[in-house]
Amino acid sequence: MQALCGVVFPTKGNRNTMEHNTLQGVIFDLDGTLLDSGSMWRQVDKKIMDYYGKEMPDDLSETVQRMSIEEFSRYFVEEFHLPVTPEQFAQQVADTVAQEYRELLPLKPHVIELLDWLDSQQIVYGVATATYGELAEAALKRLHVWERLAFLLTEQEAGAPKTQPRIFQLAAQKLHLGRRQIAVAEDSLHALQCARAAGFFTVGVYDAANPAAWQQICATATVHVHDILEMKQFF
């Protein structure tokens, strides 16, 4: 592959990457891809640990990144012996981040410009997210993205986390497109690994809140970008 301006361009020898010219839809991740929320989630981990008087392990955020809300909640309760049920813990986390989603979290740079371009090209897109559906919807409505989407799909609705292909397969059905016609844009290594293994064209999106994973993301994704607007070059 050839790299230019943070974008990896596929070489002729790789059939999977050369199918980008047939792309007609996008499955976007929310947190860290469209929404600038990565650093907020790391602060939430620390805030919760402080609330319960627990010391936060250095690798906690990386450990829980791959987990669904249910897995994340069960892990915290069991690993740190918290005096609540996983369901109560999940609600506590939702309450902690609610204001951020409803009032504060911004889009990452150039998201609106990319969506404007996709709309102009009649390329359909939606969001598949691990976060709370109600809060994701609130943020997307506040930021005037909601009305553009073909769908919002959560891991809870899919019944599986992004370490399994089900959420991407269901999202593809909602776009009425085949997997070879869809780009999956993600900032999470595990989601990119799963989506690419399932046959999707994958776009690794840089998130400054998670620089440690970037090298692996570049090696895993079909292509990768530092600025989400650079995705235009793959359609």
Residue 139 maps to which CATH number?
Answer: 3.40.50.1000
Residues 149 and 218 in one domain: yes
Last residue of a domain, one of 104, 132, 148: 104
pLDDT tens digits, residue range 59-96? Answer: 887 778 778 788 889 999 999 999 999 999 989 988 98
The verdict on pTM exceeding 0.95 is no
pLDDT tens digits, residue range 167-214? Answer: 999 999 999 999 999 999 999 999 999 999 999 999 999 999 889 899
Residues 127 and 180 in one domain: yes
Domain residue limits at 87: 38-104
Query: What pLDDT is attached to residue 45?
Result: 83
In Å, how far are 3, 36, 193, 227, 230 from 222, measured between CA atoms?
Answer: 12, 23, 10, 16, 14
In Å, how far are 105, 225, 227 from 34, measured between CA atoms?
Answer: 11, 13, 11
Residues 213 and 148 in one domain: yes
pLDDT exceeds 80 at position 227: yes
Number of domains in the chain: 2
In Å, how far are 44, 101, 102, 132, 205 from 95, measured between CA atoms?
Answer: 11, 10, 11, 11, 28
Residues 138 and 97 in one domain: no
Residues 73 and 131 in one domain: no
Residues 30 and 72 in one domain: no
Scanning the chain, the segments in alpha helix (DSSP H) are 15-18, 38-51, 60-64, 69-79, 86-99, 111-120, 133-142, 155-158, 166-175, 189-197, 214-220
Last residue of a domain, one of 104, 135, 156: 104
pLDDT band at 229 (very low <50, low <70, confident <90, very high): very high
pLDDT tens digits, residue range 40-58? Answer: 887 888 888 899 999 888 8
Query: What pLDDT is attached to residue 142?
Result: 98
Residues 49 and 13 in one domain: no
